[in-house]
Structure 1
Amino acid sequence: MNTATDDQVHPIRILLVDDHKCMLWGLDRLIVSEHPRMQIVGKAGSRQEIFQALDAVEPDLILLDLDLNGESALDFLGDIQRRTPARVLVLTGLRDPQVHQRAILGGARGVLLKDVPAETILLAIQRVHAGEVWMDRSTMSRLLERLTSGSTGASSSGDPHAARIASLTAKERDIVAALVKKPGAPNKTLADSLCMSDHTLRNHLTAIYDKLGVQNRVALTLYAIEHQLAAGQA
């Protein structure tokens, strides 16, 4: 009931990153139109400008283009993650599923194509800021297919991930299995299916991320399939 008031008091602080002036201008106009729910706190068009901006402002979310003057932001996405707790939402013209997979596994909380409608960009910003992962179903399916068809699993006793996997509790394994079964389901739907609150689920997910060294739900789903964590579970 207090959502509108909270948004006015605490707007989503956004750092825009794109090397095309016209794209920056368009995104600027789009997000400014959402005031007071959203606020632009900085703009950047290169690696150097990103880190200069992060020294000056504290964004909640970074809307990040991957191709910056011929340099791939994937090469320093980890450095961005270490510099700021801001969530990264990739906005790209690249349609390569492998690039999208690298972005998600590198810590991005979502991937958007630049030709999506303006309303979709605004919705994705809100969802990612709220803690969700944003990825269209077709891209998610391609990533899962790519991984399951190309992965040999991790059943050998010398698997370096074995200790991490062994540290999961039975409840955490149930959560992972539910997530693999319904990879695109909202947190509330998963929580209801597991007979727990949304808050409790988020706490469990945070613990699972820490144990397995992943960044978000999509990375956890890919990790679980690659290492057959949900094999044999309902």
Structure 2
Amino acid sequence: MALRSRRRCRSGRNFPVLRVLVVDDQDLFRGGFAMILNAQPDIEVVGEAADGAEAVRAAISLRPDVVLMDIRMPNLDGVAATAQICDRTDAKVLALTMFDLDEYVYDALRAGASGFLLKDIRRDDLVAAVRVVAAGESLLAPTVTRRLISDLVRRGQPVPRLAAKLSGLTERESATLQLVARGLSNAEIAAELTLSEHTVKTHVSNLLSKLDLRDRVQAVVFAYESGLVVAGQSSE
């Protein structure tokens, strides 16, 4: 688990804060994001990095909860850095890009990123995004979800070793995974399966644990690559 910093509130009590590493090769963006996040009482920017290689070293050393990761950088790009950070730490990665249809975004998601943000994001949305991802949720725009699913569909045949893992899921967990892969929210899944949102949240948590997946983005990838969901089942 990532180490949590603690700040002292007015009552004198310490409370945990989210540790964030900001990665961008442009000083203006990096400094701006850091300033916005540091202004929040429950968020602390524990480090900054100007390229992917530096980001990997910082993530391993500082153990942040969330890494705000620019995709296009020198030395080691954000995709490769994301893969290494997700493989070697428990940090959640939020990919940063100038364009919502940036092809590198899909590579970053497959590498383990929990979502992506446009660099012109509003201040409040940036703060909310960090909190959402730190809580274990994914953050994707509908256009990116559709493109990611389409890309996975084009890959073709299921991966046998992934398909074998499906036997460990209950019927309800399997049905929930199918709906997650279609991009449905917990509320929408609850309506579809006639369950409470709390029960759906439990199913999602269980299936992620059983399949050793980081979050819902990885669940979408798994559902398609395992063959659980096939072309024609996704909803636009």
- C-alpha distance after superposition, 1:33-52 (max 9, x if no partner): 3x212211111113443244
TM-score (norm 1): 0.78
Q: Higher mean Cα deviation, 93-102 or 14-23? A: 93-102
What corresponds to 1:118 in structure 2?
123
What corresponds to 1:162 in structure 2?
163
Contact 2:71 2:105 in 1 (8 A): no
**In the aligned structure 2, how far is the partner of 1:20 from the partner of 1:9?**
32
- C-alpha distance after superposition, 1:36-90 (max 9, x if no partner): 1221111111344324433543321111112222531212323212332121111
- Does 2:221 correspond to 1:216? no
TM-score (norm 2): 0.78
- Does 2:151 correspond to 1:146? yes
Contact 2:20 2:44 in 1 (8 A): yes
Q: Higher mean Cα deviation, 216-225 or 20-29? A: 216-225
Which of 16, 27, 30 matches 2:22? 16
Contact 1:14 1:41 in 2 (8 A): yes
Q: How far is 1:226 from its partner?
A: 4.3
**In the aligned structure 1, how far is the partner of 2:156 from the partner of 2:73?**
35
Contact 1:92 1:112 in 2 (8 A): yes
Aligned length: 219
Structure 1 residue matching 2:138: 3-state secondary structure: coil
Contact 2:93 2:112 in 1 (8 A): yes
What corresponds to 1:37 in structure 2?
42
Residues 1:197 and 1:27: Cα distance change in structure 2 (over 3 Å): same
Contact 2:60 2:89 in 1 (8 A): no
Q: Which runs of 5+ in 1 are unaligned?
A: none
Percent identity of paired positions between Structure 1 and Structure 2 = 27
Q: Which runs of 5+ in 2 are unaligned?
A: 1-8
Map 1:1-234 → 2, pairs under 5 A: 9-33=15-39, 35-93=40-98, 95-148=100-153, 150-154=154-158, 159-181=160-182, 183-185=183-185, 187-191=186-190, 193-194=192-193, 195-196=195-196, 198=198, 200-230=199-229
What corresponds to 2:5 in structure 1?
none
Q: Higher mean Cα deviation, 105-114 or 42-51? A: 42-51
